Amino acid sequence: MKMLVILACVALAAAAPQAQRPASVPNPDDVQLLRYEAENDGLGSYKYAFEQSDGTKKEEQGELKNAGTDNEVMSVKGSYSWIAPDGATYLVTYVADENGFNPTIEQGPGSGGANRG
Taking only the tens of pLDDT, the chain with its 117 residues reads 555 545 555 565 666 565 555 565 557 689 999 999 999 999 999 999 999 999 999 999 999 999 999 999 999 999 999 999 889 999 999 999 999 999 999 998 765 554 445
Asked whether the beta carbons of 53 and 113 are under 8 A apart, the reply is no
For residue 76, give its domain range. Answer: 33-117
Work out the number of other CB atoms within 10 angstroms of the CB of residue 64. Answer: 15
Residue 66 lies in a domain: yes
**Quick check: is 11 in a domain?**
no
- pTM value is 0.67
Looking at residue 17, what DSSP letter applies? P
Residue 76 counted as domain residue:
yes
**Interior angle at CA 115, CA 113 and CA 74, nearest 5:** 135
pLDDT of residue 116: 47
28 occurs within a structural domain: no
Q: Which residues pair with 92 in a beta bridge?
A: 80, 105
Please say whether the beta carbons of 41 and 56 come within 8 A.
no
Residue 52 covered by a domain: yes
Q: What H or E segment, with its residue span, contains residue 79?
A: strand 73-83
Q: How many domains does the chain have?
A: 1
